[in-house]
Amino acid sequence: MKKFFHLRADRKILKVALDDILYIESLKDYIKVVTFNKTIITKQSISSLEEMLPKDSFTRIHRSYIIALDKIESYTSELIEIAKQELPISRMYRHELAKILKIE
């Protein structure tokens, strides 16, 4: 399995390591990929990027957010904290996330 993918941003192709991704945020027609040391903004749909990510490492928590499961620092039934950033969990994805995280 590939451990990286490529994104077009700033008029060049960037290699993004899956292990570096903290979370991905949708911004209308663009997505923001947040890694440990940089933020990449590219014109792409969050759904098309979701298809490229391994299901055992990443999950959708909201229509605007995909997170790296191993980067979760803490969570409640409504919020997930990754790198001091609180991200909302929508009702639509809460049940699936509870199964993944084994929340009672």
Give the Å distances, CA to CA, from 5 to 17, 51, 72, 74, 87. Answer: 7, 12, 22, 27, 24
Give per-residue pLDDT as tens, 36-86. 999 999 999 999 999 999 999 999 999 999 999 999 999 998 999 999 999
Number of domains in the chain: 1
Degrees to nearest 5, angle at CA 9 with 33 and 39: 30
Amino acid at 82: I
Amino acid at 46: I
Q: What is the pTM assigned to this prediction?
A: 0.93
Tokens 């009672």 found at: 104
Query: In this structure, how many other beta carbons lie within 10 angstroms of the beta carbon of residue 31?
Result: 24
Amino acid at 72: I
Confidence of residue 89 (pLDDT cuts 50, 70, 90): very high
Q: What is the CATH number of the domain that holds 41?
A: 2.40.50.1020
Residues 6+ apart with CB under 8 A from 47: none
Return mean pLDDT, the chain: 93
CA-based R_g, the chain, Å? 13
Structural domain range at position 41: 4-101
Strand ranges (E), 10-77: 12-17, 21-27, 30-35, 39-43, 58-62, 65-68, 74-75
